[in-house]
Amino acid sequence: MMKSAYLILRIAPDADLPTIELAYAARIRELSEWPDAVARCKAAHAVLTDPAKRREHDRALSTNAGTQIPEFESSNRTRHLWWGLCLLCGALLAVVFWRHAAPRQTSGGELPLREKTTVEVEELPRDVPVVDATDHHVEAAPDQTALTEPSAQAMAPVVSSPPVKAERPPKGPGFDPAYMAWSVFLIKASRGRGSGVMIAPDRILTNCHVIAGSSAPGSVQVIHSVTGERVVAEKVSVLSNDEDVCMLEAPGAVAYPASLGRSDGLDLGVATYTVSFAGGRELAWSKGELLDRHRIGSLDLLMTSNYCRPGVSGGPLFDENGRVLGLTSAHRVYQSADGRKVNGECVVVPAEVVRSVFNRAPMPIAMVPWRYDGPWGRTE
């Protein structure tokens, strides 16, 4: 008798793509010690994420008595529907509040799923699976086991005025966060706040959703994370809405550029590092690892276990040698079986995508879009 891919991933037959992806990630972690079960989950995932294979699979189910699951825990679905409606109302109220609050910290985009959750954690901990930007995050299915939070280390806060006249110290062995902090900036916009990394003199990369809506002259400032010196961004180069990558032109910004690396050849489990303003106004850094590669729409993303909170958006993901592997744009949020909300993986736009922004002509800040969701703001 044919084994239903829906049963293997424990989802309903009408599950959409984000639900399938989150359920798949949850099952892989749950069954990590049983290779045969993991292989079955991977096979089920391959079928359900391919439209043609899924249609063939559904036709096969309809011709095999006993393999259909028309009543997929109907009581649970009803209960989840009510919870979804309640959470949707809460989300709408939160959006209304957010629209009238400025500035706000931003930390990546989100896939709009049925439940919206966030998590309260200690000041500088680590993440589990997700997406978050300007209060955006992607939620996973219930019954998700919480992962151990990664540690994030606080660094010297950004100084306002007068700026600190300091010199960059020599680079220490391995990854040196104090050295790499000289390439990192706080991005302060009229409607948002996030992080950025200098990739060439006067050129600072960040997420577009950090600066969206900040089109007035002088409304986007870049503040050096060590000296506190700030300058106004005059122009911006923009990728499409799907990539959420912008490059600011900020003449006179403290110039200690980082080099742009590559992520396509990295093995899972390799060490990754963040230096950003995640979780508040203070600079923080974290060590994590590359957990997975994940596709949302047409975009291939990196998933890491680094520390991600609002404010991380646009911050760099570094390798051991301080090369930029991508821009941290969001994080996932899970809901555990007992109702707790657990922060998930950092979601990173890879360097291979980021590099494309160098081919875009700069335009005045006044032309910045009012809203910029990236792939997080649309359903699959």
Write out pLDDT tens, residues 337-347: 777 777 788 99
Q: Is residue 13 over pLDDT 80? A: yes
Mean pLDDT of 143-155: 50
Contact present, 329 and 313 (Cβ < 8 Å): yes
Which pLDDT score is estimated for 241?
A: 62
Confidence of residue 188 (pLDDT cuts 50, 70, 90): very high
Residue bearing tokens 């993901």: 317
Sign of torsion, CA 132 137 139 144?
positive
Separation of alpha carbons 342 and 362, rounded Å: 39
Domain boundaries for CATH 1.10.287 within the chain: 5-62
Which pLDDT score is estimated for 78?
A: 47
Which pLDDT score is estimated for 131?
A: 32
Tell me which of 276 and 299 has the higher pLDDT.
Answer: 276
Tell me which of 278 and 240 has the higher pLDDT.
Answer: 278
> In this predicted model, what pLDDT tens digit does every residue of 242-292 receive, in sequence order?
788 999 999 999 999 999 999 998 999 999 999 999 876 688 999 999 999
| Range name among 88-97, 211-220, 279-288, 319-328 with the lowest pLDDT average | 88-97
Separation of alpha carbons 355 and 352, rounded Å: 5
Looking at domain 105-380, its CATH class is mainly beta
Which pLDDT score is estimated for 86?
A: 65
Q: Is residue 60 over pLDDT 80? A: yes
Q: Is residue 34 over pLDDT 90? A: no
Mean pLDDT of 217-246: 89
**CB under 8 A, 24+ apart: contacts of 23-31:** 23/141, 25/129, 25/140, 25/292, 26/140, 26/141, 26/143, 26/144, 26/334, 29/145, 29/147, 30/145
Contacts of 184 (CB under 8 A, 6+ apart): 195, 196, 197, 198, 225, 275, 276, 283, 315, 316
Two tokens, residue 130: 């997700």
Separation of alpha carbons 63 and 55, rounded Å: 13
| Mean pLDDT score across all residues of the chain | 75
Q: Is residue 164 over pLDDT 80? A: no
Q: Is residue 147 over pLDDT 50? A: no
Which pLDDT score is estimated for 286?
A: 92
Domain boundaries for CATH 2.40.10.120 within the chain: 105-380
Q: Is residue 376 over pLDDT 70? A: no
Q: What is the DSSP letter of 359?
A: G
Q: Is residue 51 over pLDDT 70? A: yes
% of the chain exceeding 90 in pLDDT: 36
Which pLDDT score is estimated for 249?
A: 95
Which pLDDT score is estimated for 48?
A: 92
Contact present, 257 and 200 (Cβ < 8 Å): yes
What is the identity of the amino acid at 265?
G
Backbone angles phi, psi at 298, to 5 degrees: -100, 10
Separation of alpha carbons 274 and 309, rounded Å: 12
Tell me which of 179 and 141 has the higher pLDDT.
Answer: 179
| Range name among 61-65, 193-197, 214-218, 234-238 with the lowest pLDDT average | 61-65
> In this predicted model, what pLDDT tens digit does every residue of 63-122 receive, in sequence order?
764 433 333 333 345 445 656 666 676 666 655 444 444 343 333 333 222 222 222 222
Mean pLDDT of 208-227: 90
Residue bearing tokens 């600190």: 164
Looking at domain 5-62, its CATH class is mainly alpha
| Range name among 188-192, 219-223, 247-251 with the lowest pLDDT average | 188-192
Which pLDDT score is estimated for 350?
A: 95
Which pLDDT score is estimated for 328?
A: 93
Mean pLDDT of 176-189: 94
Which pLDDT score is estimated for 308?
A: 87
